[in-house]
Amino acid sequence: MSPITRLRGSYSLMIVIITTAIAQMGWILVYQVRSGTFQAPVFNYAIILVLGYMLGMMIWRIIRQMYLSQKWIKHFRSRKHDKLTKRLQYICRNWGTEIIVVQEDSFVALTIGLIRPKIVVSTMVVDRFSKMEVKAILLHERYHCLNHDGRKMFLSSLLVDAFGYLPIVKPIVRYYETWKELFADRYAMQQMGTELYLGKVLLKLAKRENLQRYHSAVYFANTTLQYRVMQVLEPEEAVKVPLALLKPFLRTCSILLLLIVGGDS
């Protein structure tokens, strides 16, 4: 099974399970309200609490995301290196993507923005990496912009916050995050016609420990580094990213069964 097929299949399974859980809880409450008989009140209160928790977490995540996005975009613009920003904008003028170079001594390479994604890199990246290595980094981030991965990751984080109590959600989202980075690396290697420069960047990052982190962004450097290095070393071979779903799926089915039994009692 190809990685894309497996990824789409697992993500679709997660959406179906989440939809089933919401529908079952909603049906239980609507049925008992219409019938006027509130059986198993403790169970009903638990469902109301869960629904309230999910709604609250989603609202909190949306507000937090909006605040952090505006905060960091404002911060990046205030620290923008005008000369290097104009230079990279000119080099990548056909991309149609805004690129911001910020004055920062640590490694920063990320995509930020849900509606109009932007690429942000630090002066350290431009100064300490070769032109071809910088191009590999920018191509990786361009893939995230073209595919609106920031928006997709935000939606995935909403699912984790609201439905993290379902055991199947977190492993599938982690699996998606890993392949998101691998696909971006593949795009960069295909555009450059070689894995050499991206490989050099990844090996340099593997030796660094002080990587700058910002919320509400998609990072070039993250916890999937080992799989990305494997893909660079063996570009013709499909990277085997583990996805153990049997136990989480069975636990999730147990929770859904509990909802069904509780609703019928």
> What one-character DSSP code corresponds to residue 218?
E
Phi-psi region of 36 (alpha: psi -120 to 50; beta: other; left: phi over 0): left
pLDDT tens, residue order, the chain (265 aa): 788 899 999 999 999 999 998 888 888 777 777 766 655 566 677 778 888 888 899 999 999 988 888 898 899 999 999 999 999 999 999 999 999 999 998 889 999 988 889 999 999 999 999 999 999 999 999 999 999 999 999 999 999 999 999 999 999 999 999 999 999 999 999 999 999 999 999 988 887 755 555 554 555 655 578 899 999 988 888 888 989 899 999 999 998 888 777 655 5
Q: Which residues pair with 111 in a beta bridge?
A: 119, 218
SS3 per residue for 77-135: HHCECHHHHHHHHHHCCCCCCCEEEECCCCCCEEEECCCCCEEEEEHHHHHHCCHHHHH
Residue 92: exposed, middle, or buried by beta-carbon count in 10 A (0-12, 13-18, 19+)?
middle
The residue segments making up the domain with residue 96 are: 3-264
Tokens coding 2: 């190809």
How many Å apart are CA 104 and CA 76, to the nearest integer?
10
Contact indicator for 111, 118 with CB cutoff of 8 Å: yes
Residue 177 is predicted with a pLDDT of 92
Contact indicator for 14, 172 with CB cutoff of 8 Å: yes
The structural domain count of the chain equals 1
Polymer length in residues for the chain: 265
Only one residue has tokens 């097929």, namely 5
In degrees and rounded to multiples of 5, residue 211 shows phi and psi of: -90, 130
109-112 vs 118-122, strand pairing mode: antiparallel
Contact indicator for 26, 131 with CB cutoff of 8 Å: no
Residue 119 is predicted with a pLDDT of 95
> What one-character DSSP code corresponds to residue 245?
-
How many Å apart are CA 15 and CA 136, to the nearest integer?
34
Residue 263 is predicted with a pLDDT of 58
How many Å apart are CA 45 and CA 31, to the nearest integer?
15
